[in-house]
Amino acid sequence: MLSKPFRILVLFLGLLAAFLPLSVSASPALDPQNTIYLDLPSGRVVIQMLPAIAPRHVARIKELTRKGFYDGLPFHRVIPGFMAQTGDPLGDGSGGSGKQLKSEFSQEHHIRGTVSMARASDPNSADSQFFICFAPSPFLDGQYTVWGRVVSGMEFVDKVKAGTQYNNGAVSNPTRIVHMKVVADVKP
């Protein structure tokens, strides 16, 4: 005969085993057509793109990435505790690819690892610049197009050289993107 504490432990473990597969599962495989490798000097950042909520932005990011547009571009604006911004070929926040996109605002939240489009005051002015959030930034929710999320390598984004809040995050001698590739295009 089992003691009462042992029976309770066995019952608990049985229940845990029964419900564990429902609450903890292996992360699904990422779609290589909608995943980006963002290689930085410190390491590789993997970004899962979200075409279901921002199809035009995802398509444009993939198009620019496949042209090599982002390779070598600086993180020109980096505010500690907020975000790191890149995607400007001029390196000062005033440039882009020359094609503005209509906004695709969603219910996605700006949390640590969110990848979202930068824009001017016009909601439909996003072009090629994007930012990665270091921390939750709920004041951005519903006002900027979220097109991806960092699924690994956020520790490398944390190492991007920062500016200061006093100069709006402008960075001298900034960290640059080594390569940015759509995973489906990477040869094994």
Mean pLDDT computed over every residue of the chain: 89
DSSP H or E run through 69: none
What confidence tens digit (pLDDT) does each residue in 19-56 have? Answer: 333 333 334 689 999 999 999 999 999 999 999 999 99
pLDDT in tens, 64-100: 999 999 999 999 999 999 999 999 999 999 999 999 9
* Residue 26 vs residue 62, higher pLDDT: 62
Q: Which CATH number fits domain 31-185: 2.40.100.10, 2.40.160.20, 3.30.1540.10, 3.60.20.30?
A: 2.40.100.10
How high is the pLDDT of residue 16? Answer: 40
What is the pLDDT averaged over residues 104-131?
97
